[in-house]
Amino acid sequence: MSRREIQIKTSRASAAYDITIEAGSLVSIGRWVATSTERGSRVAVVSNEKVFGLYGEAVVAELKHAGFPVSTHLIGDGERFKNLTTLGRTLESLGEAGITRTDAVIALGGGVVGDLAGFAAATYLRGIAFYQVPTTLLSMIDSSVGGKTGVNTSWGKNTVGAFYQPHAVLIDPAVLATLPKRELTARFCEAVKHGAIGGRRMLMNVRRLLAEHPVRTLSDNLETVGDKLAELIAEQVEFKASIVRGDERESTSNTSAKSRKILNFGHTFAHALEHVTRYRRFRHGEAVGYGILFAGQLSKRLELCNNDDIELLYDVVGKVGGLPPSASIDPRDVLASFKHDKKEVSGSLQFILLRSIGKPVIINENDIPPGMVLDSIKAVIHK
């Protein structure tokens, strides 16, 4: 299988970094780290028990073999551990392991581990080298690119954090084989989101992969699908990189179609749906699936986008499949929950909608006729 290298440029030339995508590459992690960190430096692997139980031993052995003394710090599994308490413990464990400014942190896990370990690396001794080794589809195509790190607090998700670029990112799609199927399905909705705002070719590539290899059997066939999946991941990473390059710190005043805000496509609705179901019924990605359909409905009603494009969106979300039913949710509760979305700017909501596939547009709620948002919600969750 082939190896793909993508260079991510940032506003500071010294902070540019490479993303390597290659099936089976985890076993060469030692040599990979050695290309940018001196052998003999200490390396702290931050992970959780589940992921570490699957891949930790091999990773640690490879790092040691390449000449890096290794310490490990395992955090709890799940979003609820992405918090200040875990951050504090992680920083203390780095201190106890004697990590110095010339040493490095490796995040081995999904977005939860990556966000938390990245923020720990950003703040420990005012910033030490940080490597991302994402192990979920979401962390591969989304959270490991763009430099957002942070934790949740009692007052909201991702409310404490920093923009901090990794030294490098290593993506081994083979590790997706052990990801629970529901996680894989849910996260494919984020790939559809990228396609919807990124362009027809990208969306059709997601559609083709899913048509040939339904998500429910995808991870059983990674030997044969691996290369196509690596190609899809590379395309998605390039797209995310192209957006964050132009708007590295998500400027609040930027409302252009190239603003980083467009990555929130489908997310205002998704957050509302997660909120009204108390974060129990939907995986985040599944809620994004519904959010994509909602954005499609609203775009159609505002006559921004033609019906063929909306049908294509429905088709691809349908190919991902596996969305839990939305019946019994009151559309008015979803509407009321929109106000909790932190993307709210100066008192009014901004919806990311579509003029066509690949042409997102940011519309202020004040520019939408009364009742149209509720009608669009009803069209999506009352079937």
Q: Which residues bind ligand NAD (CB under 6 A)?
A: 48, 50-51, 54, 77-79, 82, 109-113, 115, 135-136, 138-139, 142-143, 146, 148, 158, 175, 178-179, 183, 187
Instruction: Say if CB 169 and CB 18 are below 8 A apart.
Output: yes
Residue with tokens 């940018």: 36
For ligand NAD, give the closer residue by CB, 174 or 295.
174
For ligand NAD, give the closer residue by CB, 142 or 309.
142
Nearest to 56 by CA among 29, 23, 21: 29
Beta carbon of residue 212, minimum distance to ligand NAD (angstroms, whole number): 22
Beta carbon of residue 148, minimum distance to ligand NAD (angstroms, whole number): 4
For ligand NAD, give the closer residue by CB, 77 or 375.
77
Beta carbon of residue 61, minimum distance to ligand NAD (angstroms, whole number): 18
For ligand NAD, give the closer residue by CB, 135 or 326.
135
Beta carbon of residue 293, minimum distance to ligand NAD (angstroms, whole number): 20
Amino acid at 44: A
Beta carbon of residue 282, minimum distance to ligand NAD (angstroms, whole number): 13
**Whole-angstrom distance, CA of residue 133 vs CA of residue 345:** 33
For ligand NAD, give the closer residue by CB, 111 or 296.
111
For ligand NAD, give the closer residue by CB, 48 or 376.
48
Residue 376 structure tokens: 């669009």
Q: Where are the alpha helices (DSSP H) in the chain?
A: 29-34, 49-51, 57-65, 84-96, 111-123, 137-138, 181-198, 200-212, 215-218, 222-246, 267-276, 284-301, 307-320, 331-337, 372-381
Residue with tokens 């964050």: 244
Beta carbon of residue 166, minimum distance to ligand NAD (angstroms, whole number): 11
Instruction: Say if CB 37 and CB 90 are below 8 A apart.
Output: no
Beta carbon of residue 270, minimum distance to ligand NAD (angstroms, whole number): 11
For ligand NAD, give the closer residue by CB, 208 or 342.
342
* Neighbouring residues of 236: CB distance < 8 A, sequence distance ≥ 6: 141, 142, 191, 194, 202
**Whole-angstrom distance, CA of residue 130 vs CA of residue 166:** 5
Amino acid at 85: T
Nearest to 114 by CA among 85, 86, 149: 149
Residue 317 structure tokens: 């979300």
Beta carbon of residue 304, minimum distance to ligand NAD (angstroms, whole number): 26
Q: Which helix (H) or strand (E) holds 19?
A: strand 17-21
The residue number with the shortest CB distance to ligand NAD is 111
**Whole-angstrom distance, CA of residue 321 vs CA of residue 281:** 16
Instruction: Say if CB 200 and CB 358 are below 8 A apart.
Output: yes
For ligand NAD, give the closer residue by CB, 139 or 326.
139
For ligand NAD, give the closer residue by CB, 112 or 317.
112
> What does the DSSP assignment read for 250-263?
--TT--STTSGGGG
**Whole-angstrom distance, CA of residue 359 vs CA of residue 265:** 11
Q: DSSP label at 124?
A: G
Beta carbon of residue 226, minimum distance to ligand NAD (angstroms, whole number): 14
